[in-house]
Amino acid sequence: MALSVFDLFSIGIGPSSSHTVGPMRAARMFARRLKSEGLLTQTTAVRAELFGSLGATGHGHGTPKAVMLGLEGYSPRTVDVNQADADVERIKSAKRLRLLGHDLGDAHEIAFDTDTQLILHRRRSLPYHANGMTLFAYDSNGVPVLEKTYYSVGGGFVVDEDAIGADRVKPDDTVLRYPFRTGEELLRLTRETGLSISGLMLENEKAWRTEAEIRAGLLEIWKVMQECVAAGMSREGILPGGLKVRRRAASGARALRAEGIGPANAMEWVTLYAMAVNEENASGQRVVTAPTNGAAGIIPAVLHYFLNFIPGADDDGIVRFMLAAGAIGMLFKENASISGAEVGCQGEVGSACSMAAGGLAEVLGGSPEQVENAAEIGIEHNLGLTCDPVGGLVQIPCIERNGMASVKAITAARMALRGDGRHHVSLDKAIKTMKETGADMKVKYKETSRGGLAVNVIEC
């Protein structure tokens, strides 16, 4: 199975890659399947049932909204974030849904009552993964014409029930020049070829795109990250969802601009960059999944640190950073999980911290061994991190947690660069430990909002 860096960095919509981006993709897949099998015109009703973490925290994560938009044919990458809420209100008030209308241009309109046809099962789960959803389509006689179950396995990745028993991501049989599945294999390949981790990743990416396309694609992703940071540092007000969490990035930016940018306040800027992204994510705006939405602020924050505080930083460095970070992310995706509903926040913030640490070490001149060491430090000190969002919203503790992990990633990279790459705990062992820790973690600490801060903070 081949993974691309563009699988891990994708442009989408907040507030959650697994609860918003994935379900929107799944609902769109279902609607497109109806069309491809010639069932669309026969369909007069649809029903969606959400299970596990999707059912427990779906309202706070915008899952019902995502499902409705997906059924209408919208994609997370291109959906108009400023129009999305109005479209959802139209569906709710009219109790009519334009099935695949966005794709077709000529809507196939059906009756749709969110109270009875969009069901969240708060304590029922499906067997394969904590983020499960089943969609049904019926004809005018109430006879089912299609039923499909999908799993949103983290980072916006979606697997349908036909793939159960196979790998979690739909297999891609593309032949890569330097395939690897473990950190040990990755380091061996760098020694054999003399390539850096980013250089090796670039050669693999050429299986899908030209070097110019890879560079342009990554810089487009970087541009969206920059726009997200800028937007987050300019918007005031209260975040949606009922917790009345106040946006802080804009006021923080004003205070820091008065001080200027320098080494003395570098980490304050880094924290601000991360919080700006995650405030945007929490309000359902455009973000880059990196590798998830809940952890979307960490890599942009560390990239901004590189660009603003490291002399000589340029676009070439940005590309190399993202390629190296992508290599680290693939190890988590292949050998553990990036889903908070499966392994807790260690799989989201922990993996993003590790990726950012590795990427920064790469562009600061680290050897492959130092890059691997930085990534290991980044995850080792996030092991056991729970996912306990208050009110099921990606706000508390998620926004501040991105800021803290961004600073931790920079520290990890700096620590690794002071050494020679030799260390006692390998990245592979740390990832294995993360997976085992996630398996041992109680369900209430894995994005269900039934444990931790979620039950110890009054939602008002």
For residue 146, what are the β-bridge partners?
137
pLDDT in tens, 76-113: 999 999 999 999 999 999 999 999 988 776 679 999 99
Instruction: Name the pLDDT band for 166 (thresholds 50, 70, 90).
Output: very low
What is the structure's pLDDT at 105? Answer: 66
d(CA 331, CA 420): 22
The model carries a pTM of 0.91
What is the structure's pLDDT at 2? Answer: 85
Instruction: Name the pLDDT band for 174 (thresholds 50, 70, 90).
Output: confident
Amino acid of residue 227: E
Whether the per-residue pLDDT at 169 is higher than 60: the answer is no
CA 200 to chain centroid: 24
pLDDT in tens, 427-441: 999 999 999 999 999
What is the structure's pLDDT at 300? Answer: 98
Nearest CA to 428 out of 191, 171, 188 is that of 188
Q: What is the CA radius of gyration of the chain?
A: 21
d(CA 297, CA 315): 19
d(CA 397, CA 382): 14
pLDDT in tens, 352-400: 999 999 999 999 999 999 999 999 999 999 999 999 999 999 999 999 9
pLDDT in tens, 176-192: 999 999 999 999 999 99
**Average of per-residue pLDDT across 228-238:** 97
Instruction: Name the pLDDT band for 1 (thresholds 50, 70, 90).
Output: low
Residues whose CB falls within 8 Å of the CB of residue 95, separated by 6 or more in sequence, listed in order: 111, 112, 113, 114
pLDDT in tens, 10-48: 999 999 989 999 999 999 999 999 999 999 999 999 999
pLDDT in tens, 198-219: 999 999 999 999 999 999 999 9
Whether the per-residue pLDDT at 9 is higher than 70: the answer is yes
Amino acid of residue 379: I
What is the structure's pLDDT at 127? Answer: 86
What is the structure's pLDDT at 458? Answer: 63
What is the structure's pLDDT at 172? Answer: 63
pLDDT in tens, 291-324: 999 999 999 999 999 999 999 999 999 999 999 9
Whether the per-residue pLDDT at 447 is higher than 80: the answer is yes
d(CA 456, CA 384): 19
Cα–Cα distances (Å) from 276 to 237, 238, 308, in that order, read 13, 13, 16
Share of the chain above pLDDT 90, in %: 87
Residues whose CB falls within 8 Å of the CB of residue 256, separated by 6 or more in sequence, listed in order: 265, 268, 269, 272
Q: What's the chain's length in residues?
A: 460
Mean residue pLDDT across the chain: 94
d(CA 190, CA 390): 43
Dihedral sign (CA 33, 37, 39, 41): positive
